[in-house]
Structure 1
Amino acid sequence: MGNNQASPIWERQQADAMQRMRDGGGLPGLARMEQLAGKSGREILEAMMSGELPYPPMNETMNMTLLKVGDGYAVFQGIPLLQHYNPLGSVHGGWFAALLDSALGCAVQTTLPVGRSYTTAELSIKIVRPASHKTGPLRATGRLIHGGGRLATAEARIEDEQGKLYAHATTTCFVFDVSTTG
C-alpha cells in the first residue's frame, strides 16, 4: 500500500464508532449537568461513545471520533478533508491541534473521579509531517504522564495505520471541582 493509500479498515472503524453513537441515540450537542451527575470522567466518555450522552459538535466539523478509552489513555481518529486545508494546500495545524488536544484531554479525563473536571492550561505541538485529504485516517493516542490534585500532564502522538508519525504533543491541564450551582 502506497503512502497516499489508506486501508479501509481504519475508515470502517471510525464509521462504525460513529454509527454506534447514533444507534445509541447520540447526537452532537452538550450534556446537561444532571446527565453528568454521578459519573466519573471515564464513565462520561464511555456514555458519549455509546450514544447515551451527546458528543461534541466539533467532532463533525473536524471529522474525528473518540474510538477508545482506558485508564489514563484515549484514542481519537480523524480523517483530514479538503475543508481542513490552509491556504498553502495542506492540512491546517489547527486540525492537528484539535485531534491532539482531544486525545490529551480525554486521557486526563479518564482518571478523574465523580465531581472533577479539567481544562487545558498549556498545549505544545510538533508537526513533523504534512497531511492531505489523500493521507487517510490518522490516530491520536493520548497517555497520562502525571495526574495530580490540581495539575495533570499527558502526551500524545498522531500516527497513520503504518505507524508513521505525523505530530506529537504534550499538555498541562488544570484539574478542578465541578460547580453544580452554575
Structure 2
Amino acid sequence: MTYAARTPDDLTPRDQILSMSGLEFMQGILDDRIAGAPIAETLGLDLLEVEEGRVVFSGTPGFGALNPSGAVHGGWYGTLLDSALGCAAMTMVPKGSVYTTLEYKVNITRAIPQGTPVICTATVDHAGRSTCVASGVIRGRDDGRVYATGSTTCIIMKIA
C-alpha cells in the first residue's frame, strides 16, 4: 500500500464505498486501488490477505509503539486486532451498507518484544443482517507464538 503525502481528500468517498460490497472494498485496499486507513501507516500495519470472512495483517512494533516502561503499548495490540477484526467483518458487508465496531476485547498473553514481526489473522464467526462477530489472533511471524487474541461485535447498517 502507498501512503506518501496523503490528505483527507485522499480518503475514499462514502458514495464510492457504498457502491461496492465490503469484500470488493477490502480487495481494492489490498490491490492498492483504494486508499487504506491512515492509522495503518502510523502504526506500521500492512494488509496481506483478504477473502470472504478472513483477513491477515502484518506489523512490527517499533520504538514509537512503546509505553514509558519500554514495553509495547497495549493500544498497539488493540489497534492491530481492531483493524483486522473490523476488516474481516467488512468483507461480509453487503453493497449499500457500512459497519462500525460495537465492542472489542483484547487478551494479551505475552509481551511482544520491540522489533518483533507479527501476523494478525481475523475470521468471521457469525455474519447476520445487522451484526457480525469476529475473532483474531496475533502470532509471531517467525516463531508462531501467540501474543494476543481478540474478538469483536460489529453492527452492520444499511445506508439509505
**Structure 1 residue runs without a partner (length 5+):** 1-17
Provide the rounded CA distance (Å) in 2 between the counterparts of 1:132 and 1:58.
Answer: 21
Query: Who is 2:68 aligned against?
Result: 87
Say whether 1:69 aligns with 2:65: no
Answering whether residue 7 of structure 2 is matched by residue 36 of structure 1, we say no
| 2:138 matched residue in structure 1 | 158
Q: One-letter code of the match for 1:45?
A: M
In the alignment, structure 2 segments of 5+ residues that lack a partner are none
Partner amino acid, structure 1, of 2:88: A
Asked if the contact 1:81/1:132 (under 8 Å) is kept, the reply is: no
- Asked whether the 8 Å contact 1:82–1:132 carries over to 2, the reply is no
Structure 2 Cα separation of the partners of residues 93 and 143 of structure 1: 21
1 CA distance for matches of 2:69 and 2:115?
16
**2:59 alignment counterpart:** 78
- Which structure: larger Rg? 1
What is the alpha-carbon distance in structure 2 between the residues aligned to residue 173 and residue 103 of structure 1? 12
Which one has the bigger strand percentage?
2
User: Does 1:110 pair with 2:87?
Assistant: no
Q: What RMSD, in angstroms, separates the aligned Cα atoms of the two structures?
A: 1.9
46-55 vs 73-82, which moves further: 46-55
TM-score normalised according to structure 2 size: 0.91
So what's the TM-score if we normalise by structure 1? 0.80
CA contact (8 A) 1:145 1:153 kept: yes
Q: Aligned pairs, how many?
A: 157
Q: Percent identity?
A: 36
